[in-house]
A and B are shown apart, each in its own frame.
Chain A
Amino acid sequence: MTEKAEFMRLPATVNLEYKYSTGRYLGRFYKELRDNKRLVANKCGKCGRVLFPPRIACPDCMVRASDEWVEVGPQATLIFFYELQIPGLAERHAANYLGVLALDGTEAELSCFEHRLMVDDPGKLREGMRMEPVFNEEGRTGRIRDDILGFKPIEG
């Protein structure tokens, strides 16, 4: 007598809590954001490239970056945006629209990042639009995704 094969699938959940060291360069960025609501970048001492996010070495020159710091933003240009239509994504990011933003004073091609868009009328979103951050006023931790609630269009 042959038994019909039963293909079992057993679930398993793995919860992992990591603690990441921010390092000297990103650490400085997080501290400035948390304490002063300032966005900072460091520069390459050789080619002058603004490194954002701040980092230890310039990838172009392959030299250690300088400790020369500059303030960037907070105003930014909206490069690209999308509506979060994938199930679960809007909830995960607490936003219906995300944008790719380049802060003033940074090299957009290599320094742009994703963040929430805070807009009353999404129909008014345009690539190239000028935006500014809305900071979290209480309990900042340094994390860009929490300490900046989102970016909103600059009025006027």
Chain B
Amino acid sequence: MAGRAAIVGVGQTYHRSKRPDVNQIEMINEAVRAALEDAQLTPKEIDCVLFGNMEQAEGSYLMDCWATEGTGAYLKEGCKVHTGGTTGASVAEAAAHHAASGLFDTVLAVTYEKQDETPAGMGPLALVQDYLWAIHTGAFGWFARMGRKYMLETGCQEEHAAITRLKSDRCACKNPHAHLRLNLTMQDVLNSRMLLYPLRLLYMCPTTAGACALVFASEERAPKITKKPVWVKDWETVHYEMVGYEAYFTSRMTSMETAANRIYHRNGITNVRRDIQCAEIYEPSTWSELQFSEWFHFCEKGEAWRMAEKGVSDLEGEFPINPSGGVVCTNPIGCTAMVRVAEAALQIRGDAGEHQVTRDVKRAVATGFGGSFWTEMLLLQRSWD
């Protein structure tokens, strides 16, 4: 891409388990207003609106069309991007594309999920796999199997998952937008209900109602809108072959490693924890945070649980991972990956508030996870060079 794009506005709702006080469009509108206010822009100053959610979740389709009064897309250009769990990152990447292309000066990216309206057990999600094939325990099964594999391969014990979960909770308690802010103790975590071994309820991402919006601007326009543009230096999308079949353990290159390798190589990142100062990753379960950290090369293979034990990934640590509390604390699915981008941008701006990390964040990565183990990764920077 010849042009450059920056994030110039960040907005999100307070994420909660239930939002009976608003309908879907009203909830979307809260995030849009917050992002526009952050950017100090009026709806008229937005050229294009890109939209996304996990369509099955609320049973409402074509929300890009009939939520226009919530998004402000009325009579504007734009479309919907829907890639399952990665949707939030896909919409962000598409918005960066649109702003960097020179076609639009300002692009509003909007995602939401209102899971308090979702059927129990996310029934329709069964359809994201080949419905005719075998038996599916869906996300519970995937994340349990990934956790078990991680334990077997690395010697990680459950206490390390619990340590990691407590770190997430400490961060979430400092983030007023986070959904689960529980002030947990070790006993609370270890006594929480076992879903599928070794996945306990508290290791699993919750069902959340919430929305997020980001304003992207072109290279020329961005510095005129804000003194603190966050540059989208690079991004990557990697798909994986597991289309509904059971690849719970694989020694192959994962989509995460592939995305990270490409981004690091293109941007001269040789020492990840030195060259990048913070990560907001889509960790669908606590076990995933450990496993994914290794796939993203935040540490050596088999080292993530030791890193957690030493507090490296804490808010005050050498390499903070998910200072927002992450996905196990907040998960409005189609919006979740965009929250990662939003939170990484706030860390770079120094505007994260109480959950601002100790380290000076000049560069951060945000990732999305979903689809059939797809990965999206964005590299955000305070200055372009």
- Residue ranges of A at the interface with B (Cβ–Cβ < 8 Å): 5, 7-9, 12, 14, 18, 20, 22, 26, 30, 53, 59-60, 79-80, 82-86, 88-89, 93, 98, 100, 109-116, 143-145
Q: Which 6 A-B pairs have CB atoms at the shortest separation, nearest pair first?
A: A59-B241, A7-B20, A113-B134, A82-B196, A109-B250, A112-B246
Min Cβ gap B338→A in Å is: 26
Interface of B is mostly: loop
Q: Is the CB of B134 within 8 A of A7?
A: no
**Nearest chain A residue, comparing its CB with the CB of B198:** A82
Q: How large is the interface on B (under 10, 10 to 19, 20 to 34, 35 or more residues)?
A: 20 to 34
Check B251 for interface membership: any CB of A closer than 8 A.
Answer: yes
Q: Is the CB of A112 within 8 A of B248?
A: yes
Q: Of the candidates B117, B132, B137, which one forms a contact with A20 in the assembled complex, judged by CB atoms under 8 Å apart? A: B132
Min Cβ gap A139→B in Å is: 17
Which residues of chain B (229-258) have a CB below 8 Å from chain A? Answer: 241-242, 245-252
Residues A144 and B248 in contact in the complex (CB < 8 Å), given A80-B145, A85-B196 = no
Q: Of the candidates A60, A86, A144, which one forms a contact with B134 in the assembled complex, judged by CB atoms under 8 Å apart? A: A144
Complex formed: what's the CA distance from A30 to B197 in Å?
Answer: 32
Check B136 for interface membership: any CB of A closer than 8 A.
Answer: yes
Considering residues A26, A82, A98, A143, which has the most beta carbons from chain B within 10 angstroms of its beta carbon? A82
Complex formed: what's the CA distance from A68 to B141 in Å?
Answer: 32
Q: Is the CB of B21 within 8 A of A7?
A: yes
Contact string against A for B residues 90-133, beta-carbon threshold 8 Å, 1 for contact and 0 otherwise: 00000000000000000000000000010011000000001111
Check B268 for interface membership: any CB of A closer than 8 A.
Answer: no
Check B65 for interface membership: any CB of A closer than 8 A.
Answer: no
Q: Is the CB of B196 within 8 A of A26?
A: no
Complex formed: what's the CA distance from A145 to B129 in Å?
Answer: 14
Complex formed: what's the CA distance from A5 to B249 in Å?
Answer: 51
Q: Of the candidates A18, A86, A113, A143, which one forms a contact with B245 in the assembled complex, judged by CB atoms under 8 Å apart? A: A113
Chain B residues lying within 8 Å of A84, measured Cβ to Cβ, are: 137, 196
